[in-house]
Amino acid sequence: MRRTASLVLLGLAAFFTALSPLMRWYAFPRLAKIPPSQYQDMVLEARPATLLDYGTMKARQVPKVTIVQTLKGDVAEADRVRRSTGRDVVVWDALSYVAGPDGKMVSEIPERYVFDAHSQEPVHAAGEMVDGDPVRRAGIEYKWPFLTEKRDYAYFDAQTRTSAPIHFKGTRTFHGLAVYYFEQTIPWTKVPLPKKMPVKGLTPQAVEKTGTTRWYSTTRMFWVDPVTGAPVNGEEIHKEELRGGRLLPGGGKVTAFAGHVRMRADYVDATVALVSSQRTLVLLLTAYLPWGFLALGVALLAAGLLLEARGRRPGTVPAPPAGGVVSGGP
């Protein structure tokens, strides 16, 4: 009976020890994924900001500019790309909508972003675009990979349609979470005019014919949870200018938009709460269960070996009766 119990313990020890790396290296890549139907929105504000008055073509200071960003998963398109590429992907239809203090549209830029559901690497497929222009992304956008590393990443900039390094700047504590801080600076670069202009009847083609061009520069900052790879806060010091051409008096330059863009406080709180709950699930697959199964396997192995050793211990010779046996003749 003791030998049977020891064999059972040794079998369980082998099972849980083998399960430990399987949870980390097999189950984790297959279970930790962005859902294809995910929808999220984010509101950011620049208070105060500088904005171009297209009526006078002069910059003026306004109390607030609001940027609403939405990400909507296209499940049907994700299935189509998966069938054609063999990869489990997410297709995000994103929209960045900028509104002035009166609520009227300043700019509106749609995107389609296709990426691997686990690694967040871009997957190139038909329909990948920014503001209707086909693009071929390199690097990440919006989200870092699960288990983010302390290193620089290539980050895609939708305005320039190019990727550039976003630099790891160290660890921070943000709302009680230990996060990684990243920063990227895009120098002044000539960029396309938005397809939707804030003045009715004004088109990018009409502006380009005047010789006026649009330039852009930004410093973007992200506080990223290293477990889930999700940013819990984001800011930009954003600047746009129109330069040259007949549209501007004297052919000089004018600020189209400038401001320090920050996430609205209520969205920061909601994001931190969501990420805090999701990071527990990732840690279960990458740390808690693998290390727990390994510790359980070692404990069962020790118990099984101890029980086996006790079962093999040689038996003791019984002691003679207290009085002994007296033999004698008749």
Specify the pLDDT at position 297. 86
Q: What is the pLDDT of residues 43-76, one digit of tens each?
A: 999 999 999 998 888 999 999 999 999 999 999 9
Specify the pLDDT at position 90. 97
Residue (of 161, 246, 151) closest to 208 by Cα position: 246
Q: What is the pLDDT of residues 120-145, one digit of tens each?
A: 999 999 999 999 999 999 999 999 99
Contact 241, 215 (CB under 8 A): yes
Pairing of strands 231-243, 213-224: antiparallel
Specify the pLDDT at position 96. 96
Pairing of strands 39-53, 253-263: antiparallel
**Which of 1-10, 156-165, 307-316 shows the lowest mean pLDDT across its residues?**
307-316
Task: Reduce the DSSP state of residue 65 to 3 states and report it.
Answer: strand
Q: How confident is the model at residue 329 (pLDDT cuts 50, 70, 90)?
A: very low
Specify the pLDDT at position 308. 74
Residues, the chain: 330
Percent of the chain residues past pLDDT 90, beyond the cut: 73
Residue range 157-171: mean pLDDT, rounded: 97
Pairing of strands 133-134, 65-73: unpaired
Q: Which residue has the higher pLDDT, 215 or 305?
A: 215
Q: How confident is the model at residue 330 (pLDDT cuts 50, 70, 90)?
A: very low
The domain ranges of the chain are 2-21+285-312, 32-263
Tokens 């120098």 identify what position? 187
Q: What is the pLDDT of residues 166-204, one digit of tens each?
A: 999 999 999 999 999 999 999 999 999 999 988 888 899
In sequence order, what are the beta bridge partners of 255?
241
Residue 150 has pLDDT above 80, yes or no: yes
Q: What is the pLDDT of residues 101-120, one digit of tens each?
A: 999 999 999 999 999 999 99
What kind and span of H or E run contains 52? strand 39-53
Residue (of 205, 220, 214) closest to 255 by Cα position: 214
Q: Is cis: bond before 48, omega within 30 of 0?
A: yes
Segment 116-121 long-range contacts (CB within 8 Å, at least 24 positions apart): 116/87, 116/88, 116/89, 116/90, 117/33, 117/34, 117/36, 117/88, 117/89, 117/90, 118/29, 118/30, 118/32, 118/33, 118/34, 118/88, 118/146, 119/145, 120/34, 120/144, 120/145, 120/146, 120/229
Structure tokens at 24: 């980390």
Residue 79 CA to residue 90 CA, distance in Å, equals: 9
Residue 267 CA to residue 38 CA, distance in Å, equals: 17
**Which of 80-89, 219-228, 235-244, 318-327 shows the lowest mean pLDDT across its residues?**
318-327
Q: What is the pLDDT of residues 303-327, one digit of tens each?
A: 888 877 777 666 544 555 555 444 4
Specify the pLDDT at position 320. 57
Structure tokens at 76: 């049907």
Specify the pLDDT at position 322. 55
Q: What is the mean pLDDT of the chain?
A: 91
Specify the pLDDT at position 239. 97
